[in-house]
Structure 1
Amino acid sequence: MGNFILIPIVIIIGLVLFSLAFIVKQQTAAVIETFGRFSSIRHSGLQFKIPFVQRIAGRLSLKIQQLDVIIETKTLDDVFVRLKVSVQYMVIKDKVYDAFYKLDYPHEQITSYVFDVVRAEVPKMKLDDVFVKKDDIALAVKAELNDAMLEYGFDIIKTLVTDIDPDPQVKAAMNRINASEREKIAAQFEGDAARILIVEKAKAEAESKRLQGQGIADQRREIARGLEESVEVLNKVGINSQEASALIVVTQHYDTLQSIGEETNTNLILLPNSPQAGSDMLNNMVASFTASNMIGEQMKKSKDTKTIDKGRAKE
């Protein structure tokens, strides 16, 4: 009979001890109420309370938390866009009472302020400015939330605009514009490259022509110098300049025939090519030079006569 009485007593004592002590984790605050009224705030470690009189009304995390809010709004150029705003916040350790009793749903409260700020700021900007000035939007959200949530015991650590997603049709149009712009730039570079190639090719051809002309001039200069030397040698043996010139031409004629004869696959025919052609050429050239000299002498005499007549007329 005594054992049956002892067991309930042990159970009651165990329940009392169990309700007497409790553990609060690190970075956590426990709110204690006495008969439904706020009594105290307990922090990390082993804590005690009066059984059946005091109770743990709730626990609040003191860690930094993050809330992601997705807002759809319209820009100044009438483009619908979805923004993802990440809000990092924490309960202020000295204001656990305000955070627990003044605000039931902090997530909904923060979300409402984020919606209000974003839908007030984004419609003032064009779509391109939304991407460029996303940090300005985040700062505006943080400033508004700090002023509002500090009263409720929450500290806004940071706000970030983590995603900007325009309407799919607008996004496709932006991609087409970007692709067209890149194609335009590529075409400009290709045109510049082609123009450079043309200019450099023209410069190379001009330089080639200049060098070719210089070579031809040098060749002709050497030929003239050789002819001059040949004429001087022939003059020394009693052959006058006209006969020497004719003889040189005939010699070059036979040299040309010899060069043509050495080519086995040539289709060139040089006329006249009879054995008497060289002699006829020599005679014709000598006669031509003689006639040319005679005409030159007559023109010189005629000019001198006219000069004398003019002088006499002046006298």
Structure 2
Amino acid sequence: MSDTSICCITCVQTKTVAVVERLGAFATLAGPGLHCLAWPITTVVGTLSLRIQQLDIMVETKTKDNVFVQVAVSVQYQVILEEAYSAFYRLSNVTQQISAYVFDVVRSTVPRIDLDDVFVEKHEIAQQVKAQLLKEMDEYGYNIVDVLVVDIDPARKVKDSMNQINASKRLRAAAHYKAEADKIRQVKAAEATAEATYLSGVGVARQRQAIVDGLKNSVNDFQKDVKGTSSTDVMDILLLTQYFDLLKDVGANTIYLRSGPDEVANLKMDLHKSVGQGGNRSKSTSFF
């Protein structure tokens, strides 16, 4: 029988390994570069990429508190060069195999966790998936580089309810802080009022003291200038003057007083009686 084989040139790309068979049986692995094959006796039946690949999987499951969620898992895997034979021949569909293990681990882990804790423990879920995949996929010639839980998506109604609960908590906290602020403002206003009242009292006391000091100085000066006058006479004059000032401040347009030589003395006596009987009662009707 004559040799009918033809030299066939094939090129393997970088980060790729070609699987070569001779007469239907595995012959060798061809690395990157140019290769001459005796076709049709020797052929390239497939290639394997040595790059890191990513598989995105969406798993629907429920939590411990019976809330259905969509868990998005990203698996990064790579063919082990030394195990390329197993990676090519032992698995017909590597993505389906990885997906099956991811579904198994996620659906056995999440149902033991409440919804609120799922968001907190997503790293632990990813680590459990990675540990299971490393254990199972190593014998098939695949290395699991990393596993990430990239999203946890509850049902729309559940998310709306969670947002309402969060909004209610924030509104309650805002109301509490507003009440505390109102309380502080009221306390500060009361303290300011008390301080203002105190200072007003101090001012009135100082004003009265100034008036007393002024009257005292006026009496002393009058006695020095007018010989033979007593302090009582001076006080009577001041009392009459203040009385007339009071009548003016009341706002009366016209004031009628009794006239006569003795009326001033009578008016002085009436004022003395008013002061002696208690002071602030008005005796104006007796003067008219």
User: Compared with structure 1, are the counterparts of its residues 60 and 289 closer, same or farther at alpha carbon in structure 2 (3 Å cutoff)?
Assistant: closer
Query: How far apart, in 2, do the equivalents of 1:102 and 1:190 lie?
Result: 68
Query: How far apart, in 1, do the equivalents of 2:214 and 2:87 lie?
Result: 114
User: 1:235: how far off?
Assistant: 4.3
Residues 28-49 of structure 1 deviation map (CA, whole Å, 9 limit, x = unaligned):
1100000110000011111121
Question: Quick one: which of 247, 255, 258 aligns to 1:273?
Answer: 255
Q: Which moved more, 1:22-31 or 1:233-242?
A: 233-242
User: Compared with structure 1, are the counterparts of its residues 221 and 271 closer, same or farther at alpha carbon in structure 2 (3 Å cutoff)?
Assistant: farther
User: Compared with structure 1, are the counterparts of its residues 44 and 221 closer, same or farther at alpha carbon in structure 2 (3 Å cutoff)?
Assistant: same
Question: Quick one: which of 169, 177, 180 aligns to 1:181?
Answer: 169
Query: How far apart, in 1, do the equivalents of 2:121 and 2:152 lie?
Result: 11
After TM superposition, list the pairs within 5 Å mapping 1:121-200 onto structure 2.
121-200=109-188
Return the letter of the residue paired with 1:285. L
After TM superposition, list the pairs within 5 Å mapping 1:239-258 onto structure 2.
239-257=229-247
Could you list the structure 1 runs, at least 4 aligned residues long, displaced by more than 6 angstroms after superposition.
Answer: 287-292
Structure with bigger helix share is: 1
User: Compared with structure 1, are the counterparts of its residues 228 and 57 closer, same or farther at alpha carbon in structure 2 (3 Å cutoff)?
Assistant: same
Which TM-score applies when normalising by structure 1? 0.79
User: Compared with structure 1, are the counterparts of its residues 271 and 214 closer, same or farther at alpha carbon in structure 2 (3 Å cutoff)?
Assistant: farther
Does 1:16 find its partner at 2:2?
A: no
Q: Which moved more, 1:173-182 or 1:269-278?
A: 269-278
Number of residues of Structure 1 aligned to a counterpart in Structure 2:
269
Query: How far apart, in 2, do the equivalents of 1:191 and 1:80 lie?
Result: 39
User: 1:243: how far off?
Assistant: 2.8
SS of corresponding position for 2:211: helix
User: Compared with structure 1, are the counterparts of its residues 29 and 241 closer, same or farther at alpha carbon in structure 2 (3 Å cutoff)?
Assistant: same
Residues 205-247 of structure 1 deviation map (CA, whole Å, 9 limit, x = unaligned):
2221111111111000000111222233344533333332221
Does 1:208 find its partner at 2:190?
A: no
Return the letter of the residue paired with 2:36. F
User: Compared with structure 1, are the counterparts of its residues 288 and 203 closer, same or farther at alpha carbon in structure 2 (3 Å cutoff)?
Assistant: closer
User: Compared with structure 1, are the counterparts of its residues 89 and 34 closer, same or farther at alpha carbon in structure 2 (3 Å cutoff)?
Assistant: same
Query: How far apart, in 1, do the equivalents of 2:131 and 2:157 lie?
Result: 33
Return the letter of the residue paired with 2:209. R
SS of corresponding position for 1:50: strand
Return the letter of the residue paired with 1:242. T
Q: Which moved more, 1:33-42 or 1:279-288?
A: 279-288
Question: Quick one: which of 106, 119, 122 aligns to 1:118?
Answer: 106
Query: How far apart, in 1, do the equivalents of 2:273 and 2:108 lie?
Result: 110
User: 1:151: how far off?
Assistant: 0.4
Query: How far apart, in 2, do the equivalents of 1:290 and 1:160 lie?
Result: 99
After TM superposition, list the pairs within 5 Å mapping 1:35-114 onto structure 2.
35-114=23-102
User: 1:122: how far off?
Assistant: 0.6
Residues 31-72 of structure 1 deviation map (CA, whole Å, 9 limit, x = unaligned):
000011000001111112111101111101111111111111
Alignment RMSD (CA, Å): 2.5
**Whose Rg is larger?**
1
Partner of 2:271: 285
User: 1:185: how far off?
Assistant: 1.2
After TM superposition, list the pairs within 5 Å mapping 1:17-36 onto structure 2.
17=7, 20-36=8-24
Query: How far apart, in 2, do the equivalents of 1:217 and 1:284 lie?
Result: 29
User: Compared with structure 1, are the counterparts of its residues 245 and 60 closer, same or farther at alpha carbon in structure 2 (3 Å cutoff)?
Assistant: same
Return the letter of the residue paired with 2:235. S
Contact 1:234 1:240 in 2 (8 A): no
Segments of 5+ residues of structure 1 without an aligned counterpart are: 1-12, 261-267, 293-315
SS of corresponding position for 2:71: strand
Question: Quick one: which of 208, 232, 238 aligns to 2:228?
Answer: 238
User: Compared with structure 1, are the counterparts of its residues 283 and 239 closer, same or farther at alpha carbon in structure 2 (3 Å cutoff)?
Assistant: farther
Return the letter of the residue paired with 1:283. M
- Give the share of equivalent positions with the same residue, in percent: 41
Contact 1:66 1:87 in 2 (8 A): yes
Contact 1:242 1:289 in 2 (8 A): no
